[in-house]
Amino acid sequence: MSPEEKQPSSQEESHAPAPEQPAAPVKKTIEPAPAPAISQPATPGTLILQWLTYLFWGLTILALSVLIFLVLFNLINGSDPQSAPLYTLAAIVVLLPISIVCDFLYQKREPQKKVGASAAILAIHAVIFAVFGIGVLVSGLFAVIRLVTDVGTTSQDQSNIAWVISSLIVTVLYAAVFIRTINPKAATRWLPKVHAIAMGVIITIFAVLAFTGPFADSIRTKNDRLIRSELNSLTNSVEEYVVEENKLPASLGDLTLTSENLQRIVEEDLVTIKQDPETDEEYRYQLCAVYKEEFKNSSSYSTYEARGDRYNTYISSTQPHPAGEFCYKVKINKKFLDSADTSGYVEEY
C-alpha cells in the first residue's frame, strides 16, 4: 500500500470523537445560620390585657370557689344558705365574660417568650395562683384529719366532707389557671381556648346545681326565715298587750304592730297564737307556724324533740324546728309585768 493510502482523509478526521474533558469541580456555598430572634418588649396595651386576663381569671375562680362550697354544702348537709349562692353566681356571671373577652384579645398579642414587664406580670400572678391552690389543698387535708380524728356531730362531718370535695375541685382550678398563665410554648395556640371552654362548662354545671339546689331552697324557705327572725319581736308584742290588757290576745291581729315584717306575718297567717291555761304565776300560750323545711342548728345543744312541755320566755331565731307545723311554748311571768323591762328574762334552752 502506498503512503498516500495510509494517510486518513480530512473528512474522516473531522468525524473522529473529541477526547472527554474532566468536569469542573462544583463549589459549595455555605450560607450563614440565621440569627436568633430577639424578643421585643410588649407594648403597654399588651401588658394591660395580660394583667387584666390574669386578674379576672383569678377573681372568677375565687367566686367560683365560694359557689362550689355553698352548692356542695347544701347538697350534702341540706343547710339553708339563704341568698349567698345567688350573690356569688351574680358575680360569676359578670366576671366570666370579662375574663373570656380579655383572654381572647390577649391571645392575639401574647408573645411565646415573655421578657421584661410581661415576665414580671406572669411571675406575680403565677405565684399567687400557686399559693392559693396549695393553701386550698392544705385546708382540704385539714378537713380530712378532722373527719377522721374528731368526734363531731353528723352536721360537722357533712361540712368536712363538703369542704374536702370542694378543696379538691378548687385546687384543680387553680392548677389549670396556673398552667394557662405560664402558657408553655408547645401549648400556646390551644391552651387558652381549652381553658376558657373548660371554665365555662364547670361554671355552667355549678350554676345549674345552684339554681336547683340552694337557690331553690332559698326561695322555698323565704317565709321560714322571716318567721324565725321575728318570733322574739312577736313575743315582745304579746307581752306589751298583756301589760295593757291583763290578758292574752285572742289573735295576733289584736296586737299593735309597728314592724312591716310583723304585719306581714300576721296578715298572711304565717304565725298563729293558742292560749293555754294560765297559772297563778304565769300566762301561757303557744306561737304556731308551718315550716317548709326542717331547720337544724349544730351550735345549739337543745333540739325540738328534747324541749317537751317546757315553756320559755324567749324564742331564739336559731332554735331548731321540724318541717310542718311546730308550736313554741311561751310563758309570761306575772311578777315581771310591772317592771320597767317588760321583756321578762332570757331563759337559755
Listed in sequence order, the DSSP H helices in 213-327 are: 214-220, 222-245, 260-267
The cell numbers describing 18, all together, are 473529541
- Cell numbers given for 80: 339553708
Smallest CA-to-CA distance from 56 within 181, 191, 206, 175 is with 181
C-alpha span between 161 and 167 (Å, rounded):
10
Cα angle for residues 131, 199, 175 (degrees, 5° grid) = 25
Q: Are 304 and 321 in contact (CB under 8 A)?
A: yes
pLDDT of res. 29: 54
| Predicted local confidence at residue 344, as pLDDT | 43
- State how far the Cα of 349 lies from the Cα of 315, in Å rounded to an integer: 9
Q: Do residues 316 and 232 touch, judged by C-beta distance below 8 A?
A: yes
Contact 41, 118 (CB under 8 A): yes
Beta bridge partners of 283: 332
What was the pLDDT predicted at 21?
A: 56
Phi first, then psi: give them for residue 115, nearest 5 degrees.
Answer: -135, 165
Locus of grid cell 365574660:
97
pLDDT for position 187: 55
Q: Can you list the positions of beta strands (E) in the chain?
A: 271-276, 282-291, 324-333
pLDDT of 171? 94
pLDDT number for residue 174: 95
Cell of 348: 337559755
**Are the C-beta atoms of residues 223 and 82 closer than 8 Å to each other?**
no
Describe the strand order of the beta sheet including 324-333 as a list of residue ranges: 271-276, 282-291, 324-333
pLDDT in the model for residue 336: 72
Length of the chain: 349
Residues in the chain predicted with pLDDT less than 70, given as ranges, are 1-41, 78-83, 152-153, 186-188, 297-309, 337-349
Which DSSP letter does residue 345 get? -
- How far CA 67 is from CA of 74, 107, 145, 197, 333, in Å, comes to 11, 28, 24, 19, 47
